[in-house]
Structure 1
Amino acid sequence: MTSSGLEDILPLSPMQEGLLFHSRYEQDGADVYAVQHVFDLRGALDGDRLRTAVDALVQRHANLRAGFREVGSGRTVQTIARHVEVPWKEVDLSAPTASGADEELDRLAAREHSHRFDLAEPPLLRFLLARLGEEHHRLIMTTHHILLDGWSTPILVRELTALYESQGDPAELPRVTPYSQFLGWLAQQDQAAAEAAWREAYAGLERATLIGPTDPGRAGRMPERIVLELDEDRTAALADRARRDGVTLNSVLQAAWGLVLSRRTGQNDVVFGAVVAGRNPQLTGVESMVGLLIAMIPVRVALDPAQSLLSTVLRIQEEQSALTAHHHLGLARIQRLAGYNELFDTSLVFENYPWGEDPADRSGPGLRIAPDLSRGRDATHYPLTLIAAPGRRLHLRLDYRDDIVDRAEAQSYLDSLIRVLDLFTADAGRSVGRIDLLTHEERTTLLKHATTHTTPDTTNSSSTLPELFEAQAARTPHAPAITHNNTTLTYAQLNTQSNQLAHHLITTHHIGPEDTIAIALPRTPDLITAILATLKTGAAYLPLDPQHPTHRLTHILTTAQPTLTLTTTDTHLPHHTTTLHIDHPTTHHHLNQQPTHNPTNHHRTTPLTPHHPAYLIHTSGSTGHPKGVVTTHRN
């Protein structure tokens, strides 16, 4: 591919900056933002004439000739070549002996898709025309998402058809609204107002919503996918219910996906990404503009168990509508305003593109170009991406990275989503807290694997939690107490480790009843050991999530004023207390010197009773308590 001359230099949109980052950073695996569209062509076709139409189409839209280069200041710009040579291939798969034409076409398409684009070298699109029969062809367009969004595709198809019929003459087409006008409009928006709106929208968020482990070095990988469609009756009933209640299908899907994530993560306040069109009606001609106008924004779904499903949908729609004017702010900036590097790792795409009349249904002479959605390739870098497309049948597709989520788990996400959609149709007034998303099979599996334990008599109010645990450890010393990944601790092992840590806290740090220990540890056996050890000293524990924003951690530590914080060497916390790094070699050395027997009141700084505090939870008000610290006693 070659280009000649320079026509223009343009800035990047926030979405383009994000895609450029992923494509440059994830060089070891697949470029998941390489997109492939497959079009079914019916009618007599002149290949040279179609290639002329493609060249005219690329010449017509300057941003299709863009390359992305870093300038001397370190900033990346898109350079628009005056002319580019568009890569074009033709293959004939129509021979009678070519019984595997579809399989061969799939192989060729996969090879085209796997060939990475150099984003600095335009054009970032190429074409393959396959002849399948006398009047049957397929056109495969492989491009990079940094050039185009889904809304642009129907526009390109309509223009390509017109240019084919006019032999490449654009005179009959309407005047182009250049993509550069959108970039100029972005630069004029009120950044301060947008930042204030997003900051307010994410105030009080206590946790990111992540279904997979955070791994910045994870290589790109094309996802597996599960596709299904609601039948026409269920689709019509869902659309009718949404219309009668004054909500969009997109809002229903957002609420449903939020509820599914809530059930899967155990969080009542969840966040996921959503793709928005970004085509502000204030910009003249934006509906026919070709380019990347979409944006990825976070959607927050805070669930109130007492609120009905319908009320939840209405509230989400209202909250998202209030943020529409601020969609132009980049995702990276929004996440920083919320206090997180990564707010979510699942996304929702609602595809409602302006295809209009189905080209395949047209009668009369001429070339008919229709998208073959079953053969296209597109993806994101997230572990889960839900794609929904309305129509007579609601089309649902769940893309999943099978190195993070297996097929059975992905299917269960989709099954849960369908149950919420059906429930919205049948009983939208049901309270969120009464919605059960377990299938009969899942409930049976849980019950089958549940273990019945005989619990000790706790009616004696003098029993403390450490004593109850120690009694269980004495009864079943070799029974597994904790299983985590490939690690299993028996009751005896857990009791011994927590005893050693408790003795260290008592003798070295003088921890005892009425003291508070903050615990900022990942969800590993060390967390359970630390909680038990704290309780054995007689102190109360205060759980901290290191992923919370710094300002929130500072507020909690300032309010609770713990005596000591247990954490790890790679966890960064505000410096408000004395800190003990339990993974430090010196700590390990001291712990190994401690006795293994159960601490008693003889060892503690003061006697422990059931009336001493056991733990402190800092609430946001959702528990029914006022905002602040809730203290729970041992009885």
Structure 2
Amino acid sequence: MPASTRPDILPLLPSQAWILDQLRESQLNAQRFNLCRVLTVPAECVTASALTAVTAVWRSHGALRATFHQERGAWRQHIADAFAQPPFRSVDLSRVPATEREAAIDRLTETLHNTLNVETGPLVRFLHIHAEADTSSNLVVVVHHLVCDYLSLSMLISDLDSAIARLREGREPRIVVGADYAQAVRALAAYSASDTLLGELPYWASQPWDETVMLPTDRPDYEGEAFRQWTSLTVSVDERHTHAVIRTLPEQEGLAPQQVIVGTVADALTAWADGPICVQVLRHGRDFKHGADGPVVLPPQVWRTVGFFATSGLVIVPPRGVLDPVAYLQSIAELMRAAPNHGTGIGLLRWSAPAGPFSTAVRKMWSRSAVQLNYFGSGSRRARNAFQAISVCDRPISSAPDPLESRLPLTVRMAVRADRLRVTLDYDAGLHLGSTAAEIAQLICDGFSRYASATAT
């Protein structure tokens, strides 16, 4: 049977293609592009119980068992049998002094990051760390981004919690399984090759690409390979303003929270850049449709399917000009609604569609991206702690990009934590001074204050 028709060999999702076809070329260590969580599990969860819970999760999610290889110059993914042994180990820290155990966990976690392998696997590892009997232990989960987006990571943690809770009650784990991973991947690949997707091209060709500007930098761009000084700056919006822009303003004006987020950031960055900019907006990538009124592309229950389905789309945002804040948000929302498939169709055209006469033009459009915006939702403190048996450790986890990784010089990440909107700027200090990053962060925070005041009536 040809490899391309084997049931265990699949095409790539769009963000997988982005990693393997573009990002991987610049990375010094392409094996490390990971997500990580350190969990605290109850004393009843001894090593055997932890292995049983991990095995249930491992068998339920095909993406975790993926490896990637090239077939006639094209990357493909292979899904191992569900009954393959899960990548699980258990480590005893009982002889490590109690004051040194956190450092030991950090060292183990850092080592675990470097054990994943894109081509030979595994792309996820589970490490159970325990000390004295009758005390809580830790379960470390490290998973490569190729097989897991942030929504999927939440599913994995929830599934582990459910499995451990059932084991604590003397019951067998039972994982709520979503749509079949292979079926979902093939459905999206078929849509990416369809005439329906190609029908989006006139919309994208009509956008004002030549009017967009790039974000200013303090230093000229690099020539050739260079050490990228990836740095992060995080600021928080107070609870009152967070609630206003995430809850009150969307309800008051009939907007989605993401539309308010995009509009607020667009207002700040277009003022700084002094012109319209093209923003990459990351979406969950699970709601593609065949045309504006057509059926959904992916199978039912894909919301419970683990995989790197998250896909970036594009939107060109103008400066606010003379518009009042609410009118500007409405205009941004209209731009986002007008784009086919929420603007993510161009992500399929760029990374998943078979090459065609349009490919060069799409690559040129994509190259006008000035910034990426990732909004990870508005989970409250209560929602984050709504586990039955585990808790997620709020310890810093190393996630710095590869030092040679070539990506957009500015990414804005946002998430609500403890009822406050946390804004993180990931930037290259070789291009932007720290003072400039602080200025951008202040512009964004001032914007949230401005838009929050629009809710006062």
TM-score by length of 2: 0.80
Alpha-carbon offset, residue 64 of structure 1: 1.3
State the Cα distance separating 1:378 from its structure 2 match.
Answer: 4.3
Paired AA for residue 315 in structure 2? V
1:200-237 deviation digits (Å, cap 9, x = unpaired) = 23454344446475558546858432233323223223
1:160 counterpart letter in structure 2: L
1:385 pairs with one of 401, 407, 411? 411
- Aligned AA (2:326): L
Q: Give the C-alpha shift of residue 303 in structure 1.
A: 1.7
- 1:26-41 aligned at under 5 Å gives the runs 26-28=26-28, 33-41=33-41
CA contact 1:23–1:31 (8 Å) conserved in 2: no
User: What is the match of residue 86 of structure 2?
Assistant: 86
- In 2, the alpha carbon distance for the partners of 1:142 and 1:69 equals 21
User: CA 1:70–1:139 in 2, change beyond 3 Å: closer, same or farther?
Assistant: same
What are the equivalent positions in structure 2 for 1:47-66 lying under 5 Å apart?
47-66=47-66
Deviation, structure 1 residue 50? 0.8
Q: Find the counterpart in structure 2 of residue 128 from structure 1.
A: 127
Contact 1:14 1:329 in 2 (8 A): no
Distance, in Å, in 2 between the alignment partners of 1:222 and 1:165 is 43
Number of aligned residue pairs: 417
> For each residue in 1:462-521, what CA deviation from the matched residue of structure 2 results, as whole angstroms up to 9, or x when unmatched?
xxxxxxxxxxxxxxxxxxxxxxxxxxxxxxxxxxxxxxxxxxxxxxxxxxxxxxxxxxxx
Aligned identity (percent) is: 21
Encode CA deviations 1:61-101: one digit per residue, 9 max, x unaligned: 22211111111x22211111125443333334466733132
> Which of 171, 178, 185 is the matching residue for 2:180?
178
Determine which of 334, 339, 347 is the counterpart of 2:364.
339
In the alignment, does 2:324 pair up with 1:308? Answer: yes
Counterpart in the other structure of 2:376: 351
Cα deviation for residue 275 of structure 1 reads 0.7
**Equivalent residue for 2:390?**
369
Is the contact made by 2:20 and 2:75 (CA closer than 8 Å) also made in structure 1? Answer: no
* C-alpha distance in 2 between matches for 1:354 and 1:9: 36
Shift of 1:368: 1.9
Give the 3-state SS of the residue equivalent to 2:78 in structure 1.
strand
User: What does residue 69 of structure 2 align with?
Assistant: 69
**2-side partners of 1:382 and 1:157: how far apart?**
30
Match of 1:261 in 2: 269
Change (3 A) 1:156 1:29: closer
8 Å Cα contact 1:298-1:343 kept in structure 2? no
Question: Could you state the TM-score of these two structures normalised by the residue count of structure 1?
Answer: 0.59
Residue 8 (str. 1) matches residue 8 (str. 2): yes
Partner of 1:397: 424
Distance 1:231 1:273, change over 3 A: same
2:90 counterpart letter in structure 1 = E
Whole-angstrom distance in 2 between the partners of 1:323 and 1:216: 35
Partner deviation per Cα, 1:29-77 (whole Å, 9 max, x = no partner): 5766322222233443212221222122112222211111111x22211
Q: Identify the residue that residue 163 of structure 2 maps to in structure 1.
A: 163
1:288 counterpart = 2:304 = yes
| 1:276 and 2:276 aligned | no
Q: Give yes or no for contact 2:127–2:139 (8 Å, CA) kept in 1.
A: yes
Tell me the SS of whatever aligns to 1:191.
helix
Tell whether the 8 Å contact from 2:229 to 2:429 is kept in structure 1 after alignment.
no
Gaps of 5+ in 1: 1-5, 430-635
When residues 373 and 228 of structure 1 are mapped into structure 2, their CA distance, relative to the original with a 3 A threshold, is farther
Structure 2 unaligned blocks of 5 or more: 1-5, 289-295, 352-358, 402-406
More relative contact order, 1 or 2 (CA 8 Å, 6+ apart): 2
Secondary structure of 1:201's counterpart equals coil
Distance 2:381 2:360 in 1: 36
Give a deviation string over 1:530-563, Cα, whole Å, max 9, x none.
xxxxxxxxxxxxxxxxxxxxxxxxxxxxxxxxxx
The CA distance in 2 between the partners of 1:341 and 1:201, in whole Å, is: 12
Query: In 1, Cα distance between the equivalents of 2:224 and 2:390?
Result: 41
State the secondary structure of the residue aligned to 2:147: coil
Q: Which has the larger radius of gyration?
A: 1
Amino acid of the structure 2 residue aligned with 1:58? W
Q: Are 1:327 and 2:344 an aligned pair?
A: yes
Aligned to 1:247: 255
Comparing 294-303 and 35-44, the one that deviates more: 35-44
Distance in 1 between the 2:31 and 2:130 partners? 28
Write the distance in 2 (CA, Å) between the matches of 1:162 and 1:398.
34
The alpha-carbon distance between structure 1 residues 264 and 355, as it changes in their structure 2 partners (threshold 3 A), is closer
